[in-house]
Structure 1
Amino acid sequence: MEEQRKILEGLILGIRELLRDARLGQFDTRERAVMGRLARFMAPHYRGWDIDTDHERRGDDPKYLDILPNGEPGQKPIVPDIIVHELGVQNNLLVVELKLSDNTNIALDLWKLTHMTREDGLYGYSVGAHIVLNLDQQNVAQSIIFVGGAPHPELTDWFQRHFRQ
């Protein structure tokens, strides 16, 4: 679990920096803009890694999962919000799905994180994070950390403690 905590530290620091900007809550800032800004704040904490937003490619092919949201076999195209990885090779560190607090449609995000963090899956990300930001209150309203294809309650509690006021 110490390895996963180290991976998440850069995300925590990036979110803290993002939330310090009170202007974000004053405007109708949308997820894509917040996502791009968060990726920039995360970058210094992941030296040597590539950080991409809306990265929909897996090599020359579209990024997809090999199971449909209803559990049936099949291929479903996906576009993760933020990934920390090594471009061009199967070395995937962190996948982040981000929501703003006015968007409660999280089922697809949780499905993506479950399958993108499966050790036996197509991607095998070490850690996944589902983050819900409340920009008006400048806090993390909710978070769920995924490891090995499932939510990890202990890491989730540890992560969320970094944002309690």
Structure 2
Amino acid sequence: MQTELNKVITALHEFYARETFLLEKDLGERTLTHRLAVHVESQFPGWEVDCDYDRLGDRTLRLPHGTIVSTDDHLGKSVYPDIVVHQRAIPNNLLALEVRKSGNHQPVEHDQHKLRALTDPHLWFAYWIGVFVTLGKKQVTTAEVYASGVKDEALSNWFAGRLKEAGLRAE
């Protein structure tokens, strides 16, 4: 997993180096997510990278009954991860990335719950890794890693440490 997380760090480094205009002008979260996805895509040759992708093959992603996660589709049942790294046709799900702006005052539990569900190995659409990042204007302010349906504290600490080494995180 560290290899894939290092690729995310490289993508974040490129994002912060090249997208300062967007950050300085405080553009919307979807704009930032799209531009980050462009940089993620360059790190994962042989994989497709999509934003708001809600499918596994021909099936629509749906969280288990009783979930607290709301979504933006008209029935409120589909799941739209911000960025995914996957192989559409097989299907094979590698990485789900949830992105927030530091100015977003909605509870983080929404994104955290979504990543726990998206990485749950008991569900048919499980992603191998989930990453949650909050983008500040100059650096990442929150960094968490999810695997097997839970926040992986050891990987989260490692990831945050690597971000700090790369100059992308203060603490």
TM-score, structure 2 length as denominator?
0.84
* Alignment gaps of 5+ in structure 1: none
- Deviation per CA, 1:119-145, whole angstroms, max 9, x where unpaired? 11121211000110102xx10100110
Coordinate RMSD, CA, aligned: 1.8
The answer to whether the 8 A contact 1:65-1:122 is kept is no
- CA-CA distance at 1:48 after TM superposition: 0.5
Task: Determine whether 1:16 maps to 2:13.
Answer: yes
What is the CA–CA distance in structure 1 between the aligned matches of 2:134 and 2:126, rounded to whole Å?
A: 23
**Higher strand proportion, which one?**
1
- Deviation per CA, 1:80-119, whole angstroms, max 9, x where unpaired? 1000001022311000000000113222211110011011
> What is the correspondence of 1:2-151 to structure 2 with a 5 Å cutoff?
4-21=1-18, 22-70=20-68, 76-105=77-106, 106-135=108-137, 138-151=138-151
**Matched residue, 2:72:** none
What is the CA–CA distance in structure 2 between the aligned matches of 1:10 and 1:104, rounded to whole Å?
A: 28
- Deviation per CA, 1:23-73, whole angstroms, max 9, x where unpaired? 2232121111111111111112111011000112333343211233249xx
TM-score, structure 1 length as denominator?
0.87
Identity within the alignment, %: 27
What is the CA–CA distance in structure 2 between the aligned matches of 1:86 and 1:160, rounded to whole Å?
A: 27
For these two proteins, the number of residue pairs brought into alignment is 157
What letter corresponds to residue 63 of structure 2 in structure 1? Answer: L
Moved more, 56-65 or 23-32: 56-65
